Structure 1
Amino acid sequence: MKYFNHLSTTLLAGMLGIMSMNAAEGIEINHLGTNNTLVRVSDDARYLLLPVEESVDDATVNVLLNGRPETTIYVRLARNKVDYYVPFDISRYKDSEVVLNIVTAQGRSSVREAKDDACWKTIKLSDDFDTSNVEKFRPAFHHTPLYGWMNDPNGMFYKDGTWHLYYQYNPYGSKWQNMTWGHSSSRDLVNWEHHPNAIEPDGLGAVFSGSCIVDKANTAGFGKDEVIALYTSAGMSQMQSLAHSSDNGANFNVYPGNPIITLESEARDPNMFWNEETKEWNLLLAHALDHEMLVFTSPDLKTWTLQSAFGKGIGAQDGVWECPDLLQLPVNGTDEKKWALICNLNPGGPFGGSATQYFVGDFDGKTFTVDTPESGVVPTKWMDYGKDHYATVSWSNAPDDRKVVIGWMSNWQYAAEVPTRQFRSANTLPRDVSLFKGNDGEYYMSVLPSPEVDALRDKKVTAIKSKGISKKGLSVSLPKANDGICEIDFRLNSPKGQPVTVTLSNAAGEHVDMVFNPSDHTFSFDRTQSGLSDFSQDFPAKVKAPTLRESTSQSIRMFIDRSSIEVFDGEGNFALTNLVFPTSPYSTMTFSTGAGKATLNSLEIYTITPSTNN
């Protein structure tokens, strides 16, 4: 009889699946095969906490409500150990029966082996999810997601005193997947408030980058001052979709007529704006694999007409073209205005990986015409010469006709491998852009920290005027407060053209070396010994920016956060944005020359008050 009962139980388990005996209360787990498991939730908790192991492949999690498909997400469910948890909000399904039909990667020899995966013993229910920072390298004054993966900023607009920032977001892990529009807002471009996700994947695919505008004249017919979003729906193909919001971008209604733009080839990242001169809407769309930007026009934001294409054979062509923007910018010191077309590409940056190039020219509402020198070769111009500046686009409807941009502070070469896990990636500081004319007669983009950034300053802890610099070196202590975050402003003069080295270092011997070389008119940044770097062979790097002036003087404004350094030319001629991961904060700043003498005309160091990012 014992044998009969055992045999019956075995047969029953084979017919109905093997039920996990270690499931948390309120969770029933049935293993149906070596890579298929059903998870049934019978509890009113707010979250189902999913255990993640980053080194394994994604599991496909099909969510069923009352037996019908609701959504599909992809999660690296823990097989050997739990790196961290991500929350799946089940409170919105309170009155439904929730079942997760999960397909994991193959590789198990039997169902009994499959049920030993760590995720089945550690999955749990909870009414809260702790987003308190547990990361050593989480920035203190840059925008980051509370948890999960972030890449491109997109859909940014200003309305009623608030700056809205949307971003490419994975709520279910700290690597790229499940592309969703995350949402944060700020009254001052410095302190950020996080909001629920704005636009989520649907039957047309994941939600890739796009843009938002305020439809002041109700051209789309959804209502005056409706916020309109265009974005790329990315499933088997890429197509452009529309959504609209009547509550200032908190919630979006997906347009039932989607998609509104389809092409026979890959195209993404629609960026739209109202053209006051032609009285119609313009849209740029990245024809990614063709290395060009497509220009469309529309009277109503729904029906778009292709007018022209720009870019084939011009500028950097090595990688795909993405995330366009087209801005009419003032030329500093003049009454002139020119158009600048921003083009992000990956790979193909000046020092490897992803970067942001731009073109200056004219735009008649249908065609962008780039300025071409007498040589006939359009020079490649970079908005930032660091390794970690990508997907840079502007806020629409900014006050006083300001052109304010923000970028993704990382590089596709190693973005998924940097030494953080609770979150991955931050945004750059916001920057105001304009144009200036160089000594060579070319127009260049001026990039400066937005004025709102000044509010980060706490106390001026160092003030030096007119100190000599020699081979011996001039050293200054850096603030210790808040892990050494600070702003450093200085002006150098090397009248005989001697290179001046500026070194940031810590007690562990880790250091960053920056060199102003007036002889070849460059400013360089070397992070090869900056701290942790073994997570990627592409991370140790030396980068160099042209100063775009013939001068022995150089002013710099620098911002040091826990895992980044942003360097700005004092007049906006160049910027260098680089991640760094020192094992302890940089504590000393040293100015030196290899030979000869130079002068530190001024040095000011400010402590920084951490911003709100909650």
Structure 2
Amino acid sequence: MKENRILIGEQDHYLVIPILAEKPKKKIFFIVEDTYFTELNIPMLEEEEVEYQYDYLAFLPISQFQGKEILLKGDYTQNFINGVHTAKHIIKKRQNRPQIHFTPDYGWINDPNGLLYQGGLYHLYFQYNPFDTQWDNMSWGHAISKDLLHWEQIDTVLFPDEDGTIFSGCGIVNEFGLLGLPKDALLFYYSAAGNANELSKGKDFVQKLAYSLDGGNTLTKSLVAVPTICKENRDPKVFYHEPTKAYIMCLWLEGNEFAILCSVDLKKFEISQRLFLDQGFECPDLFELKIEDESGENTQETKWVFWCADGYYYLGNFDGYEFHVEGSKKEAYHTKLPYAAQTISNMDGRVISIPWLRTKTVNKLYTGCMGLPREFNLCRCKGELRLKQSLPKEIRERINIIYSMNSKESKEVNLKWEKESVLGLQLTLKKDQTSKGFHGFILGCEVEYNQENGVIKVGEEQIPIKTPLEELSMIFDSGIIEITANNDIIYAVIQLEHSISNDEINLSSNEISELMIYEVK
């Protein structure tokens, strides 16, 4: 193994690493004062290349090591190490990407983690590999927002260590001042994926605690909250249950099996139930939702929902110890792009969820993004409880109507869209027996609904909705299109092969009774 020492200056905040995405990887250990800081797999060119090339620069936070030397140990090439250097600031390159769907500055992202709200700020942590556009080196990235719409990525907070790589988890506010920490401390439970890297070879997965005393900017790793139950048990989601005055943790164990655990001190969790859920897998969540009647009015009734990564959800009752399923599995997603959604904690009774969208690599710079936040409620639809996934008020308040039409007459809609913002439209179909659907082009993308077969077609994507369409909402953000329909109980997200560049909207409104076109500022 080669060894190179780099002195971290008194004002240096980052170690800058050149990344040539999706090339063969070399393992590098980062060591400070004989202690392993992290271990990373870095893609790089072979030694014989004359001049080192890269797609982007990754910034590894090292402020805590100012004035010290960091040792890089591994089988890297000399050309690679010549490109590694320190920096005081991050250089961002964020052109040609969605405007209101969060994307990383660079690298790969998947599951949203540690979602919480505190002091006017929303925190989005996420599964992150800053060092390639493929899955690897699982760490926790971090972004913040004041409005659930505009996100700013800041420093990565957790990196792989001797307990494993950093898998999914959750965040809560320490409202009762437990663990000897102040009430405004932020607490994070995450899966340490043992045996997923060289430093943790031979270890199993455990659920660990990390905490922050500076508003979530830096996290300190702490105790093991839940020892291994099953070899790769993971994805803890914790919330406070007022009736039993205890904290509840949901945990995926293996296959279709999950666990519910309880704790009064946030330090020791005990299993109160192990349960099997039909086709359930990974990333559990458990929350109580209000029920609306068919007119949209709140009924004062509630129902508990157990949630899994694929968007499968199960209605039932929860008594603080066990969840009892009522009925069969339901599906929240009509396409496969959304996955591993998590709800935001500390929202004062509101349930707002953000999913990961499994989008493709863009410009060799980043892979994956987050879906728009959606506020959850339940509504009665033909006697059946269904999940509503609506835009929260924080986003709806930023919608500006640029065109509206309400007419019983046939009419062609031909518009040019000249705004530098995100386009959306909402339409209602005629309710008479002659309604067959509609067809048109929106920003160059063909959109069609066929009432006879119940299929929405957007570009090459066909979305069977299995129910007559009454109203439809679409948000176009670069190559990502979010679709909701029928009082937000139908939800789908697709990615176009190419970003939207056309500025025209052409619709045949023969079958449309109402149409609203808007921009999201």
The structure 1 residue matched to 2:75, chosen from 103, 122, 127, is 103
Structure-2 separation of matches of 1:246 and 1:48: 24
Alignment of 1:351-390 (within 5 A): 355-372=310-327, 378=328, 380-390=329-339
Report deviation, 1:120. Answer: 5.1
Q: Is the 8 A contact 1:261 1:304 kept in 2?
A: no
Considering only aligned residues, what root-mean-square deviation do their CA atoms show, in Å? 2.6
Q: Aligned pair 1:94/2:63, yes or no?
A: no
Seen in structure 2, the aligned counterparts of structure 1 residues 128 and 196 have a Cα distance that, compared at 3 Å, is closer
Q: Aligned pair 1:527/2:459, yes or no?
A: yes
Q: Percent of pairs identical after alignment?
A: 25
Counterpart amino acid of residue 326 in structure 1 = L
Residue 600 of structure 1: aligned partner:
512
The secondary structure found in structure 2 opposite 1:295 is strand
The secondary structure found in structure 1 opposite 2:512 is strand
Residue 405 of structure 1: aligned partner:
353
Alignment of 1:101-500 (within 5 A): 101-104=73-76, 119=80, 122-134=83-95, 136=96, 138-236=97-195, 237-255=204-222, 257-258=223-224, 260-287=226-253, 289-312=254-277, 314=278, 316=279, 321-333=281-293, 334-344=299-309, 355-372=310-327, 378=328, 380-399=329-348, 401-410=349-358, 415=359, 417-439=360-382, 441-458=383-400, 460-466=401-407, 468=409, 474-482=412-420, 485-496=422-433, 498-500=435-437
Seen in structure 2, the aligned counterparts of structure 1 residues 128 and 163 have a Cα distance that, compared at 3 Å, is closer
Structure-2 separation of matches of 1:340 and 1:270: 16
Q: Is the 8 A contact 1:479 1:485 kept in 2?
A: no
Seen in structure 2, the aligned counterparts of structure 1 residues 309 and 264 have a Cα distance that, compared at 3 Å, is closer
The secondary structure found in structure 2 opposite 1:336 is strand
Seen in structure 2, the aligned counterparts of structure 1 residues 607 and 125 have a Cα distance that, compared at 3 Å, is same
Structure-2 separation of matches of 1:463 and 1:264: 56
Report deviation, 1:133. Answer: 1.6
Counterpart amino acid of residue 186 in structure 2 = V
Counterpart amino acid of residue 63 in structure 1 = F
Residues matched between the structures, number = 501
Seen in structure 2, the aligned counterparts of structure 1 residues 304 and 89 have a Cα distance that, compared at 3 Å, is closer
Seen in structure 2, the aligned counterparts of structure 1 residues 98 and 278 have a Cα distance that, compared at 3 Å, is closer
Unaligned runs of 5+ in 1: 1-35, 105-113, 345-354, 373-377, 529-540, 610-614
Counterpart amino acid of residue 339 in structure 1 = W
Deviation string, structure 1 residues 400-449 (Cα, Å, up to 9, x no partner): x1111111122xxxx4x43333222221111111111221x332111111
Q: Is the 8 A contact 1:52 1:76 kept in 2?
A: yes
The secondary structure found in structure 1 opposite 2:394 is helix
Structure-1 separation of matches of 2:157 and 2:343: 19
Report deviation, 1:209. Answer: 1.0
More strand by share: 2
Report deviation, 1:475. Answer: 4.2
Report deviation, 1:342. Answer: 0.8
Report deviation, 1:591. Answer: 3.8
Q: Is the 8 A contact 2:192 2:208 kept in 1?
A: yes
Counterpart amino acid of residue 418 in structure 1 = T
TM-score by length of 2: 0.88
Deviation string, structure 1 residues 343-372 (Cα, Å, up to 9, x no partner): 11xxxxxxxxxx311111111222211112
Counterpart amino acid of residue 451 in structure 1 = K
Deviation string, structure 1 residues 251-310 (Cα, Å, up to 9, x no partner): 33322x3253321332110011111122211111012x3212211111111111112122
Q: Is the 8 A contact 1:342 1:356 kept in 2?
A: yes
Deviation string, structure 1 residues 14-71 (Cα, Å, up to 9, x no partner): xxxxxxxxxxxxxxxxxxxxxx433333573554432222232221111233455332
Residue 533 of structure 1: aligned partner:
none
Seen in structure 2, the aligned counterparts of structure 1 residues 61 and 336 have a Cα distance that, compared at 3 Å, is same
The secondary structure found in structure 1 opposite 2:36 is strand
Unaligned runs of 5+ in 2: 196-203, 294-298
Seen in structure 2, the aligned counterparts of structure 1 residues 78 and 85 have a Cα distance that, compared at 3 Å, is farther
Report deviation, 1:170. Answer: 1.7
Counterpart amino acid of residue 304 in structure 1 = F
Report deviation, 1:85. Answer: 2.3
